């Protein structure tokens, strides 16, 4: 899985990878712990990294780092979806690739690490996992969403604004996943992002587009 962690209690990790659709013994309680663990570790890391940032800016940076889409992307990097235990319904609807399930599973896995080997080891795992994103975090940009940052970057280069196109909407009414494409008008680049609303999908697509062009 690539976490750099050797489990002592494999049962905890198995539970962390079990969705509620597959068993009554599932990852929801470990998810609760993992959510708190990630929030604290990232808050502390930002507090140390940005000594001049006020509470509001620190909160916005933390929210950007630990939001569902960010956690889901990290989970995909670990190929977490390949290890998930899902019920038949979730398997049929592609639950292993859904942001909400992946993000929850990552939180649960980190909660399991904490329960298995303690806080210090779990903290190291979290920091290793988020290292690249922490290094890329810029306090001066905190509070600006990806669509705004993409718009400002394109305007600074005197380029036309992007177009956002809904590619698909999947899932039940109460748990939909939107896929949106972000298309640049003056070249062939495009990106696709997913989310539980059109707005979130657009933000995810904009974030991916920023990664493509900001260093070009």
Does the annotation place 44 within a ligand binding site?
Answer: no
Helix or strand (DSSP H, E) at 190: strand 190-195
- Looking up tokens 């494409």 gives 181
Does the annotation place 138 within a ligand binding site?
Answer: no
Helix pair angle (198-213, 146-156), 10° resolution: 40
Helix (H, G, I), strand (E, B) or coil at 183: strand
Residues assigned a catalytic role: 35, 107
CB contact burial 181-203 (16+ within 10 A = b; e otherwise): bbbbeeeeebbbbbbbeeebbbb
Distance of alpha carbon 193 from alpha carbon 198, whole angstroms: 10
CA within 13 Å, CB half, 200: 16
Does the annotation place 202 within a ligand binding site?
Answer: no
Annotated binding site: 31, 104, 107
Annotated binding site for Mg(2+): 31, 104, 107
């Amino acid at each position: 899985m690539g976490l750099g962690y050797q489990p002592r209690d494999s049962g905890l990790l198995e539970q962390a990878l079990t969705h509620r659709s597959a068993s009554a013994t599932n990852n929801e309680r470990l998810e609760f712990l993992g959510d708190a663990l990630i929030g604290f570790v990232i808050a502390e890391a930002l507090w140390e990294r940005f000594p001049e940032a006020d509470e509001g800016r620190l909160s916005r940076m933390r929210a950007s780092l630990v939001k569902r889409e960010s956690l889901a992307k990290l989970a995909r990097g670990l190929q977490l979806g390949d290890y998930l235990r899902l019920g038949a319904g979730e398997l049929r609807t592609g639950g292993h690739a859904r942001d909400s399930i992946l993000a929850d599973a990552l939180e649960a896995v980190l909660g399991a690490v904490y329960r298995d080997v303690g806080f210090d080891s779990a903290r190291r795992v979290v920091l290793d996992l988020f290292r690249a994103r922490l290094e890329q975090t810029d306090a001066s940009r905190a509070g600006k969403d990806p669509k705004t940052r993409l718009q400002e970057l394109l305007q600074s280069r005197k380029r036309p604004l992007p177009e956002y196109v809904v590619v698909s909407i999947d899932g039940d009414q109460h748990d939909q996943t939107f896929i949106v494409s972000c298309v640049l008008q003056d070249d062939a680049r495009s990106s696709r992002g997913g989310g539980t609303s059109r707005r979130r999908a657009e933000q995810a697509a904009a974030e991916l587009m920023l990664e493509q062009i900001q260093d070009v």
